[in-house]
Amino acid sequence: MFSLHPRSTYFQALVDQESLVIYERQILLRWGFTLVVAFAIALAYFTDHPAPAVESASYVLPFFAAYNAWLHWRTKRGRLGKAAAYLNVSVDHALLCAYLVQISWRMSPENMVYSSANAIFPFIALYSAFRMDFWVLAYSILVGMFCYNGLFWLNYPHLDPALVAALPELGWDGQIFRSLYLLTLELIFFFIPAYLRHLLAMEEILFQEKEELQQRYQVDLEREVEAKTAELRQANQELQTALDEVRTLEGLLPICSRCKKIRDDKGRWLAMEQYLDNLSNVRVTHGLCEHCFSIIYPDIAEEVILHLKDLDKDN
């Protein structure tokens, strides 16, 4: 069983790597959004019926496109730091606020309150949730709530009192309800980085299990290699000893011409039996040849020799 440390080096590296991949895809998504809005603006101007909302978007879109180009350039050069996530949240909310202010000026404060562009606030929070950073998501929610309610507070004195009296949801009661609804929706987004980090934590566990298996296999393999090496070393030593003995037996032996003693490598003169005992595993036993037996025992030599030959024939 492995214990996962949430701030381990490998886990943080996984988070940074996946966050960068997601961020690169989000930049492509931002470019897609820019192209869609640009096409809608161009279509509205082509039909000679540009609505105030379209005109407002045409003023904000160039700044959004320029910021996307800057993000794309920074990403390609590898200079995209952690502060870029907070900068994205700030710039996106600032551009959205600029668009809503344009709606309020060009149309009416009531249109700003009910503008469909307010739905972009939770999308910015959702966009931030995939960065797998709880602090970035919390910052996005706080900035979004501040901008959403700050714009309403600035435009509330300019709302039509009669319309507010007829539609209470247009006033502060409705704004509080909408804010709570928006906040509840955005708080749910915290499950996204939590789940993504959980998946990366499982990947780290698998990585650690793989590392431990490899280490165990490496240790077992080293032990087996050491055992085989020791066996080979022992076998080589025995073989070398046998070869040394063979070489000694094959060489010239200095032997005394009178007493027949043999001189070993250390300069000692040894009897042949002692020399052979020290040199190899051969054990010397004594006997008599037929010639010497006839000299020592002339009376019985012939009979004994014939008897021994008969025994050899029988065997």
Q: Of the candidates 131, 133, 124, 126, which has an alpha carbon nearest to the alpha carbon of residue 20? A: 131
- Please give the backbone phi and psi of residue 270, each rounded to the nearest 5 degrees, phi first: -120, 150
The full set of domain ranges for the chain reads 9-210, 262-314
> What is the rounded distance in angstroms from the CA atom of residue 290 to the CA atom of residue 56?
133
Looking at the DSSP assignment, which residues form a beta bridge with residue 262? 255, 270
Q: What is the pLDDT of residue 10?
A: 65
Q: How many CB atoms lie within 10 A of CB 2?
A: 12
pLDDT of residue 248 exceeding 70, the answer is no
Q: What is the pLDDT of residue 2?
A: 38
260-309 per-position pLDDT tens digit: 777 777 778 887 777 777 765 666 676 777 777 778 777 776 777 777 77
- The angle formed by the CA atoms of residues 46, 49 and 51, to the nearest 5 degrees, is 120
Q: In terms of residues, how long is the chain?
A: 315
Looking at the DSSP assignment, which residues form a beta bridge with residue 269? 263
Tokens of 178: 């909408």
Tokens of 135: 């602090």
67-89 per-position pLDDT tens digit: 888 877 877 776 666 777 788 88
Which residues are CB-contacts of 144 (< 8 A; sequence separation ≥ 6)? Answer: 93, 121, 122, 124, 125, 182, 186
Residue with structure tokens 């909408």?
A: 178
Question: What is the DSSP track for 126-156?
Answer: HHHHTTT-HHHHHHHHHHHHHHHHHHHHHHG
Distances (CA, A) of 128 to 7, 39, 85, 222: 21, 26, 8, 49
159-212 per-position pLDDT tens digit: 878 877 877 778 888 889 889 999 999 999 999 888 888 887 787 777 778 878
> How much is the average pLDDT of 95-124?
85
- Please give the backbone phi and psi of residue 26, each rounded to the nearest 5 degrees, phi first: -65, -35
Distances (CA, A) of 109 to 55, 97, 172: 16, 13, 14
Q: Is 255 helix (H, G, I), strand (E, B) or coil?
A: strand
Q: Of the candidates 188, 208, 211, which has an alpha carbon nearest to the alpha carbon of residue 200? A: 208
Extract the runs of DSSP E, i.e. beta strands, from 89-227. none
> What is the rounded distance in angstroms from the CA atom of residue 140 to the CA atom of residue 32?
22
Q: What is the pLDDT of residue 211?
A: 79
Q: Is 263 helix (H, G, I), strand (E, B) or coil?
A: strand
pLDDT of residue 250 exceeding 60, the answer is no
pTM > 0.75: yes or no? no
Share of the chain above pLDDT 90, in %: 9
Q: Of the candidates 269, 267, 126, which has an alpha carbon nearest to the alpha carbon of residue 186? A: 126
Question: Under a CB-based contact definition with an 8 Å cutoff, are residues 103 and 115 in contact?
Answer: yes
